[in-house]
Amino acid sequence: MKRAFLLAALSSLAVTAYAFDPAAAWTDQCAKCHGKTGAGDTKMGKKLSIKDYSLTAEQAKFTDEEAFKAIKLGRTDASGKVRMKAIEGLTDADIKAMVAYFRGLKK
């Protein structure tokens, strides 16, 4: 009985650990630069002159694949200086969910 309970508890933990929440990840890992709404209206966003990704016109300038690469590998400028670091700890499936979330920011 006790053992069955323990197993049930463990398996529900595993489910929790693998459920990826793009909105929470956005708040934790992206919003400090990109802003809650994607407008880049944060201190970091201004410093890095991040574009307003809540605008359809800005989002039209890159493909889903480029967005995926930006998140997975990071972005550098023409001289090789890092503009956005690769985001660690995300699986490819998580990154796809992140791209979809990012696309959803546009007005």
| Residues in Cβ contact with 29 at an 8 Å cutoff, skipping those fewer than 6 apart | 87
**Residues 18-37, interacting with ligand HEC (CB under 6 A):** 25, 29-30, 32-34
**Residues 53-82, interacting with ligand HEC (CB under 6 A):** 62, 66-67, 70-71, 75
Strand-pairing partners, residue 75, are: 84
Asked if 42 touches ligand HEC (CB under 6 A), the answer is: no
The C-alpha atoms of residue 87 and residue 74 are separated, in whole angstroms, by: 7
The amino acid sitting at 41 is: D
E-strand ranges in the chain read: 75-76, 82-84
Q: Which is nearer to ligand HEC, 12 or 76 (CB)?
A: 76
Binding site for ligand HEC (CB under 6 A): 25, 29-30, 32-34, 44, 48, 50, 62, 66-67, 70-71, 75, 83-84, 87, 98, 102
